[in-house]
Chain A
Amino acid sequence: MNGNGMTDPSFQNRMPVMIGIGEYHVGSEPMMAIGLGSCIGLTIYDRDHQIGAMVHIMLPDSSGRSDRPGKYADTAVPLLLDKLSEKGCRKASLVVKMAGGACMFEYFGNNLNIGERNAEKVRAILAENHLRIVAEEVGGKSGRTVAFYPDDGGKVTVRSADGAAHEI
């Protein structure tokens, strides 16, 4: 099956849940985060229950803020794990994938490559929870749109501005 929604007939009937910056969603329906630059789209799929969780992370550290846990890598990862755990998911059957974390503006970024720091923080917090990423597409200079299909084997597709979508 190719990842291009336009040629996938089932896509027509399945509008994905759009996940804005700092938002997250848990369920079996398709989910999507559009136009990730330095942001990260993190997906966790549970093979046992065919459900998944996705979050759109913007910054590495919450520095103690708790009102938007999905916005920060250090709070977003535990948030998704808690939500999946509430649904009865076991850690051993989770499949974690990540995309985004680009550096589109090197000049303004100076020495703070937020995309890279986001990705590093996600990896670190996952490691603390004894989880690792099985597939990722991070870094580079280009924006990405990420789609997640928990009811299709947890498939994750990534598309860039030129429109080519591929599975990771």
Chain B
Amino acid sequence: MDAMQELGNIGAAHAATTLSQMLSSPVEMSVPKIKVVDVAQLANHIGEESAALVVFELQGEIPHGGYIIIYISRKSAVQLTNTMLGLTDPDRPLNEMDESALLEIGNIMASAFLDATAELLGFIMLPSPPVLTIDMAHAAMQSLIAQMQEEIDEVMLFSTELVCEEHKIDSDLIMMPETSMLKTFVERLENLMKSG
């Protein structure tokens, strides 16, 4: 578990750096949390609030490895694109330009996360093209869980909060691995610790 947390830490730190560069502003990162959530209790962790989720499937050596999700509350999503696009109205509706910006931000963050973790583990993980949804967060997560390769009653979520106080932006970087990917992580990490 400690090693997994360290893995998440390294990945998220790289993602935080890229976000910070894009915003030209400091980004604080929480300690990565590993949560094992029974699907029946998912609503206790992710509610029905409207949020922007940029979703990638984990591909590469393991073709369907799970998902990387960049979760941004609706309010934060507007703040984020406002900062990037030089706009100021915090209550405006999100438009196509915002969607492109969110996809791009998500892409850069997910790539940074995966590059860093893949380098550490020594195997290739690639993000699929991103998909953006701005909708009930629980509905989006539930849909992803339903289409996972291996049917599960519990899902493992690696979650790291990334916060930019200056622009009031709060986001969550979530990795939801398939069982096969999780096994590979554990094997690789054990090997690393033996050799290290």
- List residues of A whose CB falls within 8 A of some B CB: 18, 20-23, 34-39, 58-59, 67-68, 71, 102-105, 107-109, 112, 114-115, 142-145, 160-162
Size bracket of the B interface = 20 to 34
B142 contacts across to A, CB distance below 8 A? 21, 35-39, 58
Extra inter-chain contacts (14) besides given A34-B138, A114-B147, CB under 8 Å: A21-B40, A21-B142, A21-B145, A22-B40, A34-B43, A35-B138, A35-B141, A58-B145, A102-B143, A103-B143, A108-B144, A114-B143, A143-B136, A160-B135
Number of A-B contacts (CB under 8 A): 109
The segment from B47-55, B112-120, B158-166, B169-177 that touches chain A is B47-55
Contact of B42 among A21, A108, A144 (CB under 8 A): A21
B139 contacts across to A, CB distance below 8 A? 35-37, 39, 102, 104, 142-144, 161
Is B55 in contact with A20, judged by CB distance below 8 angstroms? Answer: no
CB distance from A21 to the nearest CB of B (A): 4
- List residues of B whose CB falls within 8 A of some A CB: 39-43, 46-48, 50, 55, 57, 128-129, 131, 133-147, 151, 153
Is A59 in contact with B131, judged by CB distance below 8 angstroms? Answer: no
Alpha-carbon distance between A105 and B67 when the two chains are bound, in angstroms: 12
Contact of B136 among A68, A71, A114, A161 (CB under 8 A): A161
Residue of A nearest to B138 (CB): A35
Is A109 in contact with B39, judged by CB distance below 8 angstroms? Answer: no
A143 contacts across to B, CB distance below 8 A? 48, 135-136, 138-140
CB distance from A19 to the nearest CB of B (A): 9
CB distance from B73 to the nearest CB of A (A): 12
A18 contacts across to B, CB distance below 8 A? 43
Show 9 residue pairs from A and B whose CB-CB distance is below 8 angstroms, ordered by the A residue: A21-B39, A21-B142, A35-B47, A35-B142, A37-B143, A58-B142, A102-B139, A105-B144, A161-B50
CB distance from B33 to the nearest CB of A (A): 20
B153 contacts across to A, CB distance below 8 A? 22, 67-68
Chain A CB within 10 A, most for which of B42, B48, B137, B151: B48
Given the contacts A68-B153, A161-B135, A105 and B143 also touching, CB distance less than 8 Å = yes
